[in-house]
Amino acid sequence: MPSEVISFITHYGYLSIFIIIFSQEVGIPNPVPNELVLMFCGYLSLKGILLLPLLILVAFSADFIGTSILYGVFYFFGQKIMKYKPRWIPISEEKVNRLTERISNRGRWKIYLCRLTPFVRGYTSIIVGLLQMKPKQFLPITFLSAITWSSAYIIAGRMLGPYWSIVGNKWGNIRYIVLLAIFSIVIVILLVRYYKNHESLKSKPHG
């Protein structure tokens, strides 16, 4: 974690966290991944510098608002942006086209999982906007994924707080361990829902 970012967060607190997360979610490049920022903030909550409930609320709000704005821009102006896109805008048309094929026919859970995946999550709002998914369909997914993503990394950072120096050096491996844990929880939820639906169908009398 760069010392400048650490100083910015410790000096300006919740406002700095909102700015960092929001800026990345609307597409402004940042050398420090939001996931690492959230884990560092979780560590600060363990130290008593930040309050955990307020921290989660700020991170969730920044993610939800930023993602919704990016989605809205591409929902209303996406075709013109892609057609007349200046070279300096950091949007890879090749990646957009590739992810569009993956998302277009996979349903809401696929979008939810993409919103949790590093590197892909930023493109998901762009693609969904280009596909013209209605706000009443996308915004609930955004709400759920934002609270899952922000809470998971903050709590992970809090749990790994005593080993923060190791986390900073081994960030690549830690990030995917957290991601795997999130996916495992989602799979368990889906299996429980499937089992309950299956049991309810079996219990219904056949006429």
pTM score over 0.95 = no
- Report the mean per-residue pLDDT for the chain: 80
Q: Could you tell me the residue ranges of all domains in the chain? A: 3-203
pLDDT digits (tens, 9 = 90+) for 136-164: 999 999 999 999 999 988 998 888 777 66
SS3 1: coil
Q: What is the mean pLDDT of residues 110-118?
A: 84
> How many separate helices (H) and strands (E) can be counted in the chain?
10, 0
